[in-house]
Chain A
């Protein structure tokens, strides 16, 4: 249990996907303008990360590794995740319209998002078992949500500042992102201490 908590919290705080690993920067900068769309996007990311891990880990463990085909993992993972997200989208549309309405716009966006692919590949690289992989994916998703919500707050403030002309728009956003990212370095080493 302690190991799982360490995995969960280090995925949220220390190895934060957008802010420390720089994965999923595209939605991090693109969808963080408003708080509600940032939350919607993050919820979709959590959902897809969990599903992708649940599908890819068994495939790697039972199909690829025993046959010595570990080098195929990237292409197989992309294929499986893309198909899976499409399938889930159709099923949600039919049976859970409310959830589809909340997540639907974002699902195709993150079909093969690098954060989603990254979490599945890193689960394999870190030699996590299935439960650990799922916990790591949940943590990665929650960390993504934390980063998005924090940064959406920063960006609403950025709207009202009088930036120099050449810093307006994306440059000042990138500067703010780097500061938020730098502040997350403060978390390194925290998690080991939390569960001593």
Chain B
């Protein structure tokens, strides 16, 4: 019997000792977790999309506790409902977030622009962008392999006719597509503003004109026509300040190339595009 009892006792004893030490350690070295963090984490949707600017829902919850001045309305997925719950837990006044959605500042569809090279490499925008800055005649436009589509968790962006188009109904403005786009074509604008510049070409007007029929040629007609001074032309491309824009649409009618568009007509349907033209 002796040859069995000692090994069994030894292994059992080591196991027991380890168990006791671990139990004691978990008591003595316990880290107090702020229960508000757990509560906030339960409120958050758990999409872990990074739209708030932190590494995930857990990280946002931890940062809210660590830094009470942090806005409670950063979660784009949960929106106002979640922001209100967090504000209640944190005991701060609630401030509704302006809902946003993504827009693609390019309208270089197959009709409007052409391919300059016959690209046969890996079918991703990031890879294609390393070759002469994309396959199209415009060096600033949408490459169209859909890195943004792959990044989107909400089925809110698609490649239609060679260019990325956002579906505002599904978009929650997490910004994943904007981070994935090697051209930086995608920005988040408030849901209330509908007019946007569908071009990002920083090339001179004549060059843009040759590359694409709907590019911004920086003629400044929109800048002059805007009654609220919301449009500025910088680096050969117009940009609209959503804070000042009143959605009057005057710039759209002034634009000679149709580079300023209304998100409502941008579902990629040619009929809709024609209607706005």
A90 contacts partner chain B, Cβ-Cβ < 8 Å: yes
- Provide the B202-238 mask, 1 if CB < 8 A to any CB of A, else 0: 0000000000000000000000000000000000000
Residues of chain A within 8 A of B30, CB atoms compared:
94
Residues of chain A within 8 A of B14, CB atoms compared:
76, 79-80
Residues of chain B within 8 A of A86, CB atoms compared:
22
Cβ contact within 8 Å between B29 and A91: yes
Residues of chain B within 8 A of A160, CB atoms compared:
122, 124, 126-127, 130
Which residue of the partner chain A has the closest CB to B121? A162
The total of Cβ contacts below 8 Å across the A-B interface reads 48
- Interface-side segment among B5-13, B103-111, B135-143, B193-201: B5-13
B274 contacts partner chain A, Cβ-Cβ < 8 Å: no
Cβ 8 A contact of A87, one of B6, B21, B121: B21
Residues of chain B within 8 A of A174, CB atoms compared:
none
Instruction: With both chains docked as a complex, state the minimum distance between the C-beta of B102 and any C-beta of chain A, in angstroms.
Output: 25
Give the docked Cα–Cα distance between A63 and B6 (Å): 11
Give the docked Cα–Cα distance between A82 and B19 (Å): 11
| Size of A's binding interface in residues, CB under 8 A | 20
Cβ 8 A contact of B21, one of A75, A83, A93: A83
With A162-B121, A162-B122 already in contact, the answer to whether A91 and B10 are too (CB < 8 A) is no
| Size of B's binding interface in residues, CB under 8 A | 21
With A83-B22, A91-B29, A94-B31 already in contact, the answer to whether A76 and B121 are too (CB < 8 A) is no
B68 contacts partner chain A, Cβ-Cβ < 8 Å: no
With A93-B31, A94-B31, A160-B122 already in contact, the answer to whether A72 and B11 are too (CB < 8 A) is yes
Cβ contact within 8 Å between B10 and A63: yes
Instruction: With both chains docked as a complex, state the minimum distance between the C-beta of A166 and any C-beta of chain B, in angstroms.
Output: 16
Cβ contact within 8 Å between B122 and A75: no
Residues of chain B within 8 A of A63, CB atoms compared:
10
Name the residue in A75, A87, A95 with the highest tally of chain B Cβ atoms < 10 Å from its Cβ.
A87
Residues of chain B within 8 A of A161, CB atoms compared:
122
B26 contacts partner chain A, Cβ-Cβ < 8 Å: yes
Instruction: With both chains docked as a complex, state the minimum distance between the C-beta of A133 and any C-beta of chain B, in angstroms.
Output: 20
Instruction: With both chains docked as a complex, state the minimum distance between the C-beta of B143 and any C-beta of chain A, in angstroms.
Output: 14
Instruction: With both chains docked as a complex, state the minimum distance between the C-beta of B123 and any C-beta of chain A, in angstroms.
Output: 8
Residues of chain B within 8 A of A79, CB atoms compared:
11, 14-15, 18
Cβ contact within 8 Å between A83 and B18: yes
B25 contacts partner chain A, Cβ-Cβ < 8 Å: yes
Which A residues lie at the B interface, using CB under 8 A?
A: 63, 67, 69, 72, 75-76, 79-80, 82-83, 86-87, 90-91, 93-95, 160-162
Q: Provide a sorted-by-A list of 27 A–B residue pairs whose CB atoms are within 8 angstroms.
A: A63-B10, A72-B7, A72-B10, A75-B11, A76-B10, A76-B14, A79-B11, A79-B14, A79-B18, A80-B18, A82-B18, A83-B21, A86-B22, A87-B21, A87-B22, A87-B25, A90-B22, A90-B25, A94-B30, A160-B122, A160-B124, A160-B126, A160-B127, A160-B130, A161-B122, A162-B121, A162-B122
Which B residues lie at the A interface, using CB under 8 A?
A: 6-7, 10-11, 14-15, 18-19, 21-22, 25-26, 29-31, 121-122, 124, 126-127, 130
Other A-B contacts than A72-B11, A76-B14, A160-B122, 9 sampled, CB-CB below 8 A, are: A67-B10, A69-B6, A69-B10, A79-B14, A83-B18, A83-B22, A87-B25, A93-B29, A161-B122
